[in-house]
Amino acid sequence: MIPGSYSFYDNKGGLDRQEWNQFVTNHASGNIFQTPEMYELYSSQPGHTSYIVYCRSNSGELVGLICASILTGRTSISKFLTSRAIVTGGPLIKPGYEHISEELLVYLIKRLPAHVIYLQVRNIFSQAEISSSFVKTGFTYEDHLNFLFDLKIGRGLLWEALHPTRRKQISRAERRNVTTCVHETPALTIITDCYKILSAVYRRTKLPLAGIEYFIEAFGIWSEKGNLKIITAKNETGIIGFRFFFVFKEQIYDWYAGSDYQFNELYPNDILPWKIMEWGIENGCSIFDFGGAGNPDKEYGVRDYKEKFGGKQVNFGRYLYVRKPAIYRAGLVAVKVLRKLIRK
């Protein structure tokens, strides 16, 4: 496509919801994180707002968009030191229009609210075709791993790809009468029970977690459409582990997960991802995206855990643009100090 005249816009005022959804759905790399529903969810959480920029050709056709979540601290000092914009699964650029990507990124950087210190783009697919646009715009690249599972190869080959220890633990869970269930439209009681487990996990690890209202809102937006589900692991006492997962365009995205540490010997964290893959095969899904696995140069227990399920390790990486370098560096120091104090 020969470069022509293009118009750039911010926020969703002039973007029709149906047009937006159709663009994401039709795009080869379109994903749940760039949908108008995700825009709404980002905006529903205290301390979060949503932002979108998009581009139209001279004929008015939508040819590119970026949907971002802006995270702002709840106190004046945290807002000053840590406000950031996160883009997951974007930009989405129509094939043949890759030349607009640099200008679209520049437009996003210029239009973000003034308090945003940095912008991070979390890739969930290869952005090789527009990598030069990131570099020219001033982004720096960092390796970041992920695990993808090809569900089309079938249950047998996926089972063989599991680490022997993982296969044993899944079998033990089944012998110890752990049952699993996929909740297509989960009741509020199921969401609440899972959130109790999740909040306990986050308290133990001393990490921040959104309130339960955020998750209730998410299921209100997506569960009726079939895009957000819960899988639970139970024994005679009730739910001992769970995972929230998205389904979009035949792709499964692992989202949040937790288990009751008192029942680790029942292996809920082993059986649940496997049962998600089985469910995906039975329901015509093609890919299970197991989520991030960290920087390959740094030790990361989550990566070690996910690696034993097999799958393909990919490195789509992340891009970082720092708008306020001095404040960014100060924020990094402040976060490190705070984490040390919290963990004492």
pLDDT (0 to 100) of residue 148: 98
Domains 6-144+318-343 and 146-312 alike in fold: yes
Percent with pLDDT over 90 in the chain: 82
Alpha carbons 330 and 107: distance in angstroms, whole number: 26
Instruction: Give 3-state DSSP helix, strand, coil % of the chain, rounded to 5.
Output: 45, 30, 25
CB atoms near residue 317 (< 10 Å)? 20
Q: What is the reported pTM?
A: 0.92
pLDDT band at 28 (very low <50, low <70, confident <90, very high): very high
pLDDT (0 to 100) of residue 103: 97
Mean pLDDT of 68-74: 84
Q: What is the mean pLDDT of the chain?
A: 93
Q: Which of 8, 9, 31 is nearest to 90 (CA)?
A: 31
CB atoms near residue 341 (< 10 Å)? 9
CA dihedral 32, 37, 42, 44 (to 10 degrees): -150
| 287, pLDDT greater than 90 | yes
Report residue 57: phi and psi, to 5°.
-75, 175
Alpha carbons 251 and 290: distance in angstroms, whole number: 11
Q: Which of 219, 281, 276, 278 is nearest to 253 (CA)?
A: 276
| 159, pLDDT greater than 90 | yes
Mean pLDDT of 11-26: 90
Q: Does domain 6-144+318-343 have CATH number 3.40.630.30?
A: yes
Alpha carbons 342 and 340: distance in angstroms, whole number: 6
pLDDT (0 to 100) of residue 329: 86
Strand ranges inside the chain, DSSP E: 6-10, 48-57, 62-71, 84-88, 92-93, 118-122, 140-142, 145-150, 179-183, 228-235, 238-248, 251-259, 287-294, 312-315, 318-322
Alpha carbons 184 and 127: distance in angstroms, whole number: 32
Could you report the per-residue pLDDT of 40-61, keeping only the tens digit for each?
Answer: 998 888 888 999 999 999 999 9
Alpha carbons 87 and 89: distance in angstroms, whole number: 7
Alpha carbons 23 and 45: distance in angstroms, whole number: 26
C-alpha gyration radius of the chain: 21
> What are the residue boundaries of the structural domains of the chain, listed by start?
6-144+318-343, 146-312
Contact 284, 250 (CB under 8 A): yes
Query: Is the link from the previous residue into 91 a cis peptide, with omega within 30 of 0?
Result: yes
Alpha carbons 293 and 304: distance in angstroms, whole number: 8
Assigned CATH topology for domain 146-312: Aminopeptidase (3.40.630)
Could you report the per-residue pLDDT of 162-191, keeping only the tens digit for each?
Answer: 999 999 999 999 999 999 999 999 999 999
Mean pLDDT of 151-155: 98
Burial of 272 (0-12, 13-18, 19+ CB in 10 A): buried
Which residue blocks in 27-176 are alpha helix, DSSP H?
Answer: 36-44, 76-82, 101-111, 131-137, 155-161, 164-175
Q: Which of 46, 49, 58, 131 is nearest to 93 (CA)?
A: 131
Alpha carbons 34 and 144: distance in angstroms, whole number: 20
